[in-house]
Amino acid sequence: MPFYEYITVAEPGCEHCRDGFTVLQKLRDPVLGSCPSCGGPVRRQISPPNVVSGKAHMLKTSSIEQAGFTQYRKIGKGVYEKTAGKGPGVIGADD
């Protein structure tokens, strides 16, 4: 589901729509026509997508641990080994 950005059409707008707001919507959901806070008219803005190239999107093990997450990698059918963070060293299908 994409995020859509909306901004007020009529000045001044409320605090919610004056500077714009973001809504998570399904592609088939109708476009919002009014601000959910004040009911004033709004329009959807076109915004650039976030594009990541190369391996910049991959997190380093140290970053994963600092964020409080645990990472596992598959070592067999239904068996995963911990590579970062807290938790059991190995998780199996029968655990």
The range of the structural domain enclosing residue 34 comes to 3-45
Question: Any idea which of 18-22, 24-28, 47-51, 83-87 has the lowest mean pLDDT?
Answer: 47-51
Helix (H) or strand (E) holding 16: helix 15-18
On whether both 40 and 65 belong to a single domain, the answer is no
Residue 54 lies in a domain: no
State the pTM of this model: 0.50
Residue 95 lies in a domain: no
Tally Cβ neighbours within 10 Å of residue 42: 25
Q: Cα–Cα–Cα angle for 76, 72, 94, nearest 5°?
A: 50
* Number of domains forming the structure of the chain: 2
Residue 21 lies in a domain: yes
pLDDT at 95: 54
Residue 51 lies in a domain: no
Residue 53 lies in a domain: no
* Tens-digit pLDDT profile for residues 37-76: 999 999 998 777 777 777 766 677 777 888 888 888 889 8
Residue 94 lies in a domain: no
